[in-house]
Amino acid sequence: MIQINSNFMRLPESYLFSDIARRVREFAGANPTVEIIRMGIGDVTRPICPAAIEAMQKAVAEMGARETFRGYGPEQGYDFLREAIADHDYRSRGIDIATDEIFVSDGAKSDTGNIGDILAADCRVAVTDPVYPVYVDTNLMGGRREPVLLPCTADNDFCPDLPAEPVDMIYLCYPNNPTGTVLTRSQLEVWVNYALRHRALILFDSAYEAYISAESTDVPHSIYEIEGAKECAVEFRSFSKTAGFTGLRCGYTVVPRSVKALDVISGREVSLNRLWLRRQTTKFNGASYVTQRGAAAVYTAEGQRQVSETIAYYMTNAATLRSGLRECGLSVYGGEDAPYVWVKTPGGCGSWEFFDRLLQLGVVSTPGCGFGKAGEGYIRLTAFNTLENTRRAVALLRGL
Ligand SMILES: *Cc1c(COP(=O)(O)O)cnc(C)c1O
SS3 call for 191 = helix
| pLDDT for the residue numbered 41 | 82
Number of the ligand 1 atom closest to the C-alpha atom of 238: 8
**Residues for the chain: how many in total?**
400
Over residues 290-339, the pLDDT tens digits come to 999 999 999 999 999 999 999 999 999 999 999 999 999 999 999 999 99
Distances in whole angstroms, Cα of residue 44 to Cα of each of 239, 292, 314, 399: 11, 19, 9, 28
Instruction: Determine if ligand 1 sits within 6 Å of the CB of residue 108.
Output: yes
Q: What is the best residue among 173, 174, 203, 241 to mutate for testing ligand 1's pocket, by most ligand atoms within 8 Å of CB?
A: 241
| pLDDT for the residue numbered 367 | 97
| pLDDT for the residue numbered 12 | 86
> How far is the centre of ligand 1, averaged over its atoms, from the C-alpha of 390 (Å)?
23
Cα angle, residue 10 at apex, residues 8 and 16 outer, rounded to 5°: 90
Query: Is residue 286 within 8 Å of 74, Cβ to Cβ?
Result: yes
Over residues 201-215, the pLDDT tens digits come to 999 999 999 999 999
Number of the ligand 1 atom closest to the C-alpha atom of 107: 8
From atom 4 of ligand 1, which residue's Cα is the shortest distance away? Answer: 108
From atom 15 of ligand 1, which residue's Cα is the shortest distance away? Answer: 177
Distances in whole angstroms, Cα of residue 322 to Cα of each of 149, 250, 337, 349, 388: 28, 30, 12, 20, 15
Query: Is residue 115 within 8 Å of 272, Cβ to Cβ?
Result: no
Mean pLDDT in residue range 334-351: 97
- Of 285, 291, 280, the closest CA to residue 250 belongs to 291
Q: What is the best residue among 106, 152, 204, 238 to mutate for testing ligand 1's pocket, by most ligand atoms within 8 Å of CB?
A: 238
Query: Is residue 253 within 8 Å of 235, Cβ to Cβ?
Result: yes
Percent over 90 (pLDDT), the chain: 98
**Global pTM exceeds 0.85:** yes
Over residues 149-192, the pLDDT tens digits come to 999 999 999 999 999 999 999 999 999 999 999 999 999 999 99
Instruction: Determine if ligand 1 sits within 6 Å of the CB of residue 384.
Output: no
CA–CA gap between residue 387 and residue 398 (Å, rounded): 17
> How far is the centre of ligand 1, averaged over its atoms, from the C-alpha of 350 (Å)?
27
Over residues 15-46, the pLDDT tens digits come to 899 999 999 999 999 999 999 999 998 899 99
Taking each helix axis from N to C end, the angle separating 301-327 and 50-63, rounded to the nearest 10 degrees, works out to 140
Contacts of 357 (CB under 8 A, 6+ apart): 349, 400
Provide the residue type at 351 as one letter. Answer: S
Instruction: Determine if ligand 1 sits within 6 Å of the CB of residue 241.
Output: yes
From atom 11 of ligand 1, which residue's Cα is the shortest distance away? Answer: 207
Q: Whole-number mean pLDDT of the chain?
A: 97
Instruction: Determine if ligand 1 sits within 6 Å of the CB of residue 173.
Output: yes
| pLDDT for the residue numbered 338 | 98
Residue 141, pLDDT above cutoff 90: yes
Cα angle, residue 17 at apex, residues 15 and 21 outer, rounded to 5°: 110
| pLDDT for the residue numbered 67 | 98
Mean pLDDT in residue range 92-118: 98
Contacts of 217 (CB under 8 A, 6+ apart): none
Provide the sign of the torsion angle of the four alpha carbons 293, 294, 299, 305, taken in this order. positive
Instruction: Determine if ligand 1 sits within 6 Å of the CB of residue 205.
Output: yes
Instruction: Determine if ligand 1 sits within 6 Å of the CB of residue 251.
Output: yes
DSSP string, 16-83: HHHHHHHHHHHHHHH-TTSPPEE----S--SPPPHHHHHHHHHHHHHHTSTTT---S--TT--HHHHH
